[in-house]
Amino acid sequence: MFVCDDFVKRARVFRSYFEKEGLTLRPCAYDALSAILIEKAGFDVVGTSGYGISASIIGQPDIGLVGYGEMVERVRTMINAVSLPVDVDADTGYGNALNVYWTVKNFAGIGAAGIRIEDQVWPKRCGHMAGKQIIPTEEMMRKIKAAVKAREETNPFLVIGARTDARSVYGFNEVLERAKAYAEAGADYVYIEAPQSLEEVETLVREVPVPISFNIIPGGMTPPFTLKQLEEAGVRYLSVPMVCLYPAVKAIKEALASLREGDLGKLVHMGVSWSEFNEIVGLNFWRSLEKGLLSSEELLEKYGSSNVEEVAERERKEAENRWAGQKLQ
């Protein structure tokens, strides 16, 4: 399968973060817009949130209801929207080792810089939920080897992560043994779901021969470690899955409550402005492209002027002036 140079470059950049000291943050997106906002905020990598995607696509919890095809399509839109490396949460790989091979090969084909699979039984569930079951170590090792083979046939720099959910099922000793085995099978890093103390984290960093990663969800099962504590402990990669979705949900609820109360004036100040939103989604790029592709006559017919930048600036000022100081009820 051919992978374009841009996708290879993104994977190479992503891989370089594991080859240097320090903690890399992985804020997670659930759609293309949240991925764009992560990039504009100045982060180095965009993660995908399985729970966030499940909630935003079908409005249901992360319990294995979203399948491979839906996930590929959503992730493709995120990768196309940004220039950063995108690290993909691919659940369990959607089946056995053969499914993992196919999953990894196709995510590499759409431009994933990294992909992570986990050792839960499918259908899986969010790692912070009760009721999880995990597959045998040997089966997960076969999945990792299948992922490595898919990488060899697509993008040699693709980062492969292996997650274990064993902590809440069989305890820490099982986590440690699995982490070592997954590293041996070829994982570039091991992701531990919800370690329960800094001592556990430090033991993993010391004894597992590849970088250690996990996530923190407000209200979830991982203790509220600070970034300084984790960096000092030697953690190299930290996911923050709900950093976009939880605040967005709260803001939407508050905006809808204001609308229900009939307070349109309050809505003006609760979000970004019309012109700010246009900038975020790249309207200026499309206006510039239109200017280069259409004739002066066509532009004059559409806008009343062939100067697209002037039209855009006039439009922005008119909108701001129209709503400045408004208190509508």
Res 325: pLDDT: 58
Q: How far is CA 135 from CA 1, 84, 120, 123, 144, in A?
A: 30, 33, 6, 12, 13
The answer to whether the beta carbons of residues 243 and 220 sit under 8 Å apart is no
Pick from 146-155, 275-284, 316-325: least confident: 316-325
Res 326: pLDDT: 57
User: pLDDT (tens digit, 9 = 90+) per residue, 232-263?
Assistant: 999 999 999 999 999 999 999 999 999 999 88
Q: Are strands 237-240 and 159-164 parallel, antiparallel or unpaired?
A: unpaired
Spatial neighbors of 5 by CB under 8 A, at least 6 apart, are none
Res 291: pLDDT: 86
Q: Strand, coil or helix: what is 195? A: coil
Q: Which DSSP string corresponds to 290-321?
A: HHHHS-HHHHHHHHSSS-HHHHHHHHHHHHHH
User: pLDDT (tens digit, 9 = 90+) per residue, 61-110?
Assistant: 999 999 999 999 999 999 999 999 999 999 999 999 999 999 999 999 99
CATH number of the domain at 5-247, out of 3.60.20.10, 3.20.20.60, 2.40.10.10, 3.30.565.10?
A: 3.20.20.60
pTM attached to this predicted model: 0.93
Average pLDDT over residues 157-179: 96
State how far the Cα of 178 lies from the Cα of 184, in Å rounded to an integer.
Answer: 10
Res 328: pLDDT: 44
State how far the Cα of 17 lies from the Cα of 20, in Å rounded to an integer.
Answer: 6
Look at residue 222 and tell me whether its pLDDT is greater than 50.
yes
Which span out of 110-114, 267-271, 290-294, 312-316 was modeled with the highest average pLDDT? 110-114
Look at residue 312 and tell me whether its pLDDT is greater than 80.
no
The answer to whether the beta carbons of residues 93 and 117 sit under 8 Å apart is yes
Res 318: pLDDT: 78
Check residues 307 and 277 and name the one with the higher pLDDT: 277
Beta bridge partners of 163: 118, 191
Return the domain boundaries, the chain. Answer: 5-247, 272-323
DSSP 289: H
Check residues 131 and 33 and name the one with the higher pLDDT: 33
Res 299: pLDDT: 84
State how far the Cα of 48 lies from the Cα of 258, in Å rounded to an integer.
Answer: 31
- Residue ranges in the chain assigned as alpha helix (H): 5-16, 32-40, 50-58, 68-81, 97-109, 137-152, 167-170, 172-185, 198-207, 227-233, 245-260, 264-268, 274-280, 283-293, 296-303, 308-323
44 band by pLDDT with thresholds 50, 70 and 90: very high
What tokens appear for 37 in the block? 């906002």
Side chain identity at residue 193, one-letter code: E
Average pLDDT over residues 26-54: 97
329 band by pLDDT with thresholds 50, 70 and 90: very low
Look at residue 321 and tell me whether its pLDDT is greater than 80.
no
- The rounded percent of the chain whose pLDDT value lies above 90 is 77
State how far the Cα of 58 lies from the Cα of 36, in Å rounded to an integer.
Answer: 22
Side-chain-side CA neighbours of 192 within 13 Å: the count stands at 33
